[in-house]
Amino acid sequence: MRTSKIKAKLRRNEPVLLTTLHFTDPSAYELAGLMGFDGIWMDLEHHGYSVETAGTLMRAARVGSIDIMARMAKGEFMRMGRLLEAGANGIMYPRCESAAEAREVVKWSKFAPLGRRGFDGGNPDMPYCTMGVADYVKQANEETFVVVQIEDQQSLAQVDEIAAVPGVDVIFFGPADFTVLSGIPGQFDHPLVHDAIQKINAATKKAGIHWGMPSGTVERSRQLLDIGARFIAYGADIIFLKQGLEAMQKNFAPLGFTFNNQIS
């Protein structure tokens, strides 16, 4: 089976960079894979496409060397296994509330003795019954990475316990939901956000694992890396497209072109 680029870099304490792809055109996944990024954040929590479509997109990404991190909705443990079988290298689990829930995530994403993931083998992750069962189980447990999200004050209060769960590789801070649930929507420079980052940094350092979060700029990414983050998610295809269209309008307006822009 394919080894995880992300997990290899984390083992070496190297920074990992992912970007988010929301569009369901396989060409976008193929391009990102060929360009050699570390990972694609595939978000099935907030977007409605099926596991079948996700499998097609992962297949396109496998032309290159990129990892897929798939996020399902909270509590979708059975979907987790299907996404791993479809070829996801790692799982992101949203709104993890406790160490007990983190243990459930590990249980459903790892084979025994680390977990209780169901075995099949006839899917892209093995791939297609081409390995011995024991080798596949061992490699899958070694190469699959688990990312759990801290997104509210209640889970932040338990971050030490969550980070200490065996099998959790990364704690990922979700600042948008955190600010909304904390009653400070969009205030990403609020002291509560800075406090959360410090607590996550300390908890993961104590547990010997890694942490990360979304970043909106190169400078912000540098700041996060300087304080210990190793797992950075930057940008999304819809944002890149929007920025490109905005630049086109800005550059062509002086030539006399006009636009009926309904969103500005």
Query: Which residues does the annotation mark as catalytic?
Result: 46
Q: List Cβ neighbours of 245 (8 Å cut-off, separation of 6 or more).
A: none
For tokens 């992912």, what's the residue?
18
Other Cβ atoms less than 10 A from the Cβ of 253: the count is: 11
Please tell me whether residue 145 adopts helix, strand or coil conformation: strand
d(CA 101, CA 93) in angstroms, rounded, equals: 10
CA distance 264 to 20: 24
What secondary structure does DSSP assign to 53-114, as a single string? Answer: HHHHHHHHHTTTT-EEEEE--TT-HHHHHHHHHHT-SEEEE-S--SHHHHHHHHHHHS-TTT
CB 211 within 8 A of CB 172: yes
Cβ-based neighbours of 198, under 8 Å, separated by 6 or more: none
Reported in sequence order, the residue ranges of 125-185 that DSSP labels E, i.e. its strands, are: 145-150, 170-173
